[in-house]
Structure 1
Amino acid sequence: MPRGTAPSQDPDTAAIAASGLHVSRGRTTILRGLEFSIMPGRITCLIGPSGSGKTTLMRAIVGVQKISRGTLSVLGRPAGSAALRHDVGYVTQGASVYGDLSVAANVKYFGAMHGATAADVAQAIAAVGLESHMRRKAADLSGGQFSRVSLACALVSHPALLVLDEPTVGLDPVLRAELWGRFAAMAAAGTTLLISSHVMEEASHCSSLLLLREGQLLAQLTPEELAQRGRNKDLERAFLAIITDTQQTGAAS
C-alpha cells in the first residue's frame, strides 16, 4: 500500500459490525445487546451522555476491552486481531504523548512501531497543523496543540479506521471547526472515523450517528433523520425527545 493513503476497503463491507454485543465488568453490564454496522470512508459519531458506555464500546472496537457476548468485527476481522494493529488508530481522551520530547520525536517514536518513514512523520504533523511547532517539546504547547500531537501519532500509520474518544473536549470553537475540517478531509480520502462526543451540536458534522444511553443503542440514523424522528431541528432537543419516547415505550410494555 502506498504511504499517505488509508488501506483500501470494500465500500460494501462494514468497517465495524456488532451483533448482540454485551460487555460486563464483574456483575455490572456496561453494554447491552448492541446491533449496528458502520460503512467505510465515513464519519460516524457516537453520541451519548457521560456514563452511557461510549468509551467502553471504543475500547472493545480497538481490542483492549473483552466482550462478554455477541460478536464485534473490525475491517472484516474479529476486534483485537493482531492483523489489525497497523490498520486501527486510537486517540484517547488523555493525550498519550511524552511531554519531554518534541512533537516530531513523539510522532517518529510512534511511527517506528509501524515502519513509518520520515515523510510519513512530516505528513502526520502537517495533517494536524503543527508544522511550525514540530521542534518544540510537547509540554510547552497549549492544551489544544498537545491534543493534536496525540492525533498525529495515531495518523502516522495511515490507519484505515481512526477511533477518537471526545477529541474536541476543551478546545475553543475555532480549533474545533478546524479539527472537524481535517476529519472531513480524512474521510474523503477513504479513512473511516468513529468519533465520540456528548455535545450534540457536533452531530451535524457526521454522516451517521449512534445514539447511546445507559449502555443501550437507542438508534442509528443520520442527523437529518434525528431531527425528523425527534421532531426538532435542534439536535439536542431531538435526542432528548427520542430518550423520552423510548422511556414511554418501555413503561407501556
Structure 2
Amino acid sequence: MTAIDVTGLVKRFGDRTVVDHVSMKVARGEIVGFLGPNGSGKTTTIRIMCGLLTPDEGEGTVLGFDLRKEGRRIRREVGYMTQKFSFYEDLTIAENLEFVARLYELKPVAAHVTRTLEELGLASRRGQLAGTLSGGWKQRLALAACVMHKPKLLLLDEPTAGVDPKARRDFWDEIHHLAADGLTVLVSTHYMDEAERCHRIGYIAYGRMLATGTVEEVIRDAGLSTFVVRGLDLQRLAAEVSALPGVEQAAPFGTTLHVVGSDRDRLAASLAPLAERPGISVEPGQTSLEDVFIKFMGDAQDNMGGDNMQ
C-alpha cells in the first residue's frame, strides 16, 4: 500500500518556482528522510502533502485521497509537526493536549489526553507549564499533540532542531516504534545521523528532487571516491590538496583529511606524490552521506546560478 504517491508537483509564489516537478512515492509504514539545504522547497512540499497548500501543477494521492480535491480529508488523517514550537506556553502539558483533543473532536477528552500522556511518557509532567519545558520535552509534547488523533501519516519538519543528542535519540526511538505499528513518516532533517535512521531518503535542492533511495543507493549512485589523508599540519595540507586536479572536496575530520572526487583514477594520481612524503599517509576511505550532499549542494548552486528559494 502507498501512503504518498505524487507526480510532477509544482508550486510558485509570484515568479519564483519553489517546488519544481517533484515526484515521490512513500509506502505505508515507511520512514522517509527529506533532505536539502535551507530554502530548497522542503517545507512547501510538506505543506502540499498535508493538504495545506494546493499545487499549481501535478497530481497524486495522499492516504488514497486526491491531493487537489480532498485536502480537508487528508488533514484529518495527518499529523504535522512544524519547525517552531507552536503550543501555549502558559498552559500545562495536559491543558495543551486537551485543546488539541477538542480541535479534533475527540471524545471523551480526558481519556484521550490520559492515553496520550502515558504513551509518550509525559504523565509525570502533565501539570508542568509548557513554557518551562526544555527543548527535548517541548519536542515530546509537540509529537504527542501530532499523534493523539491516531493519524496514518506523520509529517515532521526539522523536528529535532535545537535539542540535545539524547533527546534526538529518544525521539527517533519513538518514531521507529510508531512506524512499526503502521504509521508512515516523512521527516525533513539536516542531520546526517538522522537520515541514516530512515528507510529511504530523498534529496531536494532549489525545488528539484535530485536523488532518492536507501542511504547506500544514494551514496553509490553519486559516483564519488574518498581518500583519507593523515599527517601533521592538516590545515596547510588541506589548502594544498584542494588545489590538486580531481579534488572536489577536502575537509578535516578530527586528525584526518577526507579528500573526495568523482574521478577515482585522477584523484589517486593527484594524491600519490603526497603518500611519498615522510609522515603523510594516503588510504582509500568510505564516502559518507555528508560528502554526497555537499556535492549535491555545489552542483545545484552551479545549475541555478546561486539563486535561492524559500
| TM-score, reference length from structure 1 | 0.87
CA distance in 2, matches of 1:158, 1:50: 30
Deviations 1:51-107 (A, max 9, x none): 100000011111112211111321011235222232111010111211111101111
**CA positional deviation for 1:23:** 0.4
CA shift in 2, pair 1:248/1:191, >3 Å: same
Please say if 1:24 is aligned against 2:12.
yes
Deviates more, 1:136-145 or 1:125-134: 125-134
What is the match of residue 265 of structure 2?
none
What is the match of residue 55 of structure 2?
67
What is the match of residue 6 of structure 1?
none
Amino acid at match of 1:236: E
What is the match of residue 187 of structure 1?
179
What is the match of residue 234 of structure 1?
288
What are the residue-to-residue correspondences of 1:116-131 with 2, within 5 Å? Answer: 116=106, 117=108, 118-131=110-123
Is contact 2:51-2:74 (8 Å) kept?
no
Is contact 2:7-2:23 (8 Å) kept?
yes
CA shift in 2, pair 1:103/1:28, >3 Å: same
CA distance in 2, matches of 1:174, 1:115: 34
Amino acid at match of 2:151: P
Deviates more, 1:137-146 or 1:44-53: 137-146
What is the match of residue 7 of structure 1?
none
Deviations 1:151-184 (A, max 9, x none): 1111110100010100010010111011000000
User: Between Structure 1 and Structure 2, how many residues are aligned?
Assistant: 239
User: In the alignment, which of 116, 120, 133 is matched to residue 125 of structure 2?
Assistant: 133
Deviates more, 1:216-225 or 1:127-136: 127-136
What are the residue-to-residue correspondences of 1:1-253 with 2, within 5 Å? Answer: 12=1, 14-79=2-67, 81-116=71-106, 117=108, 118-230=110-222, 231=224, 232-242=286-296
Amino acid at match of 1:221: G
| TM-score, reference length from structure 2 | 0.72
Is contact 1:229-1:242 (8 Å) kept?
no
Is contact 1:127-1:182 (8 Å) kept?
no
Give RMSD over aligned pairs. Answer: 2.1
**CA positional deviation for 1:121:** 1.8
Task: Could you tell me which runs of 5 or more consecutive residues in structure 2 were left unpaired when the two chains were aligned.
Answer: 225-285, 305-310
Secondary structure of the corresponding residue to residue 211 of structure 1: strand
CA distance in 2, matches of 1:95, 1:234: 32
**CA positional deviation for 1:243:** 5.2
Is contact 2:51-2:75 (8 Å) kept?
no
Is contact 2:205-2:300 (8 Å) kept?
no
What is the aligned-residue identity percentage?
35
Is contact 2:51-2:72 (8 Å) kept?
no
Deviates more, 1:33-42 or 1:140-149: 140-149
Task: Could you tell me which runs of 5 or more consecutive residues in structure 1 were left unpaired when the two chains were aligned.
Answer: 1-11
Deviations 1:124-172 (A, max 9, x none): 2234332221111111211221222121111110100010100010010
CA distance in 2, matches of 1:169, 1:242: 22
CA distance in 1, matches of 2:148, 2:181: 15
Higher relative contact order (CA 8 A, sep 6+): 1
Amino acid at match of 2:97: V
CA distance in 1, matches of 2:205, 2:289: 15
